[in-house]
């Protein structure tokens, strides 16, 4: 799982799971490029990456991940800055709960833009330099909710389920160029997003977990690093569940 000499681009790397992934990549030897709109939080993540390993290089790029032209520009800048692009992680995402009959069209549009279409834009942009290199690894961050569904989360679940289909389709499209595409589906992970969950819902999920606890961002980051490493060189089109045993 040595990532020395590799360059990784991560969306949604300003906090939570995204920041943990960025630190994991830096610790394992990769140069890291972070993308998002919260400049202050991105700067904190970049500093944490730089502190994770002596000599680590981490830079952040401000931009809207839902805008295709912006993502193409940022990817071009990353390739010019680092000379190559080996790994890309589509981690940007949001959750808005609403029952179907109360779901506003603008809420649906927003979740699809942030959770699903942004991944399309990232994959389209990074595929170009990866195809030239004839090598690369892409990881899409989905959710166990995208596999099971959940009352009140139809829009969120649909957007996350779409990422699973996207990962499998791109694995077949890009495999001949030695580009691997996988998805990671976390369960209940301790982040700012899950802190807003009702206590009863959190306790229910923890009871369902075979390990009897909520996960930490670091429980996910190691899996993502593995999928982007040469150790996973024959793994593509898969969805790796990281949920402590909730779905068993």
| Residues identified as active-site | 156
Alpha-carbon span 236 to 98, nearest angstrom? 33
Question: Are the CB atoms for 13 and 45 separated by under 8 Å?
Answer: yes
What is residue 95's DSSP assignment?
-
CA proximity to 191, closest of 2, 18, 69, 7: 18
Distances (CA, A) of 77 to 14, 32, 126, 228: 19, 13, 11, 21
Q: By C-alpha distance, which of 158, 32, 132 is closest to 89?
A: 32
Do the beta carbons of residue 16 and residue 44 sit within 8 Å?
no
């Amino acid at each position: 799982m040595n990532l020395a000499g590799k360059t990784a681009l991560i969306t949604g790397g300003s906090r939570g799971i995204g920041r943990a992934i960025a630190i994991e990549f830096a610790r394992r030897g990769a140069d890291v490029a972070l993308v998002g709109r919260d400049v202050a939080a991105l700067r904190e993540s970049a500093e944490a990456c730089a502190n994770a390993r002596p000599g680590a290089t981490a830079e952040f790029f401000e931009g809207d991940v839902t805008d295709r032209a912006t993502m193409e520009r940022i990817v071009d800048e990353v390739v010019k800055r680092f000379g190559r692009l080996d790994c890309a992680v589509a981690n940007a995402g949001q959750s808005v709960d609403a029952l179907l009959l109360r779901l506003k069209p603008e809420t649906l549009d927003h979740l699809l833009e942030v959770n699903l279409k942004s991944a399309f834009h990232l994959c389209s942009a990074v595929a170009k330099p990866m195809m030239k290199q004839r090598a690369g690894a892409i990881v899409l961050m989905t959710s166990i909710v995208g596999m099971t569904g959940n009352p009140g989360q139809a829009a969120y679940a649909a957007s996350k389920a779409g990422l699973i289909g996207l990962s499998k389709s791109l694995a077949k499209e890009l495999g001949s160029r030695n580009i691997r595409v996988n998805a990671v589906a976390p369960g209940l992970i301790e982040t700012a997003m899950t802190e807003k969950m009702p206590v009863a819902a959190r306790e229910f999920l923890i009871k369902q977990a075979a390990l009897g606890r909520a996960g930490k961002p670091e429980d996910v980051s190691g899996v993502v690093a593995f999928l982007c490493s040469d150790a996973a060189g024959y793994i593509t089109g898969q969805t790796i569940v990281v949920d402590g045993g909730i779905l068993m």
